[in-house]
Amino acid sequence: MKRILIVDDSFYMRTMLKNMLTDAGYEIVGEAPNGQTALELAKETNPDLITLDVILPDNTGLDVLKGIKAEQPDMKIVIVSAVGQEVIVNEALENGALSYIVKPFSEEKVLEVVKKALEE
């Protein structure tokens, strides 16, 4: 069973993603509401994949992405962004994110992106 860490400052978004991914047979190993917790949990849980929101209260998702990649270069990360954040998404992809999900998203889209990222 593939293990996923969810990083999003919104409890609602984390819960929505957790429910979608759990229903699809993934194990959620942790949820982080901010960048600091994300960095700690990435080390502690060593998930197969991280879904990472680009806007966090204490850091940008880009900083978190770079921090995780510096310590765990092979970590698979999928960025979650709102519409209109293309510049951030492109920078994230340049810094090692595998793909992205745009909010508002459909369950089909989330599962498609996660499945593809895990296969890379």
- DSSP string for residues in 94-114: HTT--EEEEES--HHHHHHHH
State the amino acid at position 5 in one-letter form: L
Reported as a single tens digit per residue, the pLDDT across 20-57 is 999 999 999 999 999 999 999 999 999 999 999 998 99
Distances (CA, A) of 77 to 64, 98: 10, 6
| CB-neighbour burial class of residue 84 (10 A; exposed 0-12, middle 13-18, buried 19+) | exposed
Q: CATH fold of 3-119, please?
A: Rossmann fold (3.40.50)
Confidence of residue 59 (pLDDT cuts 50, 70, 90): confident
User: What are the tokens at 10?
Assistant: 């919104």
Can you give the residue ranges of every domain in the chain? 3-119
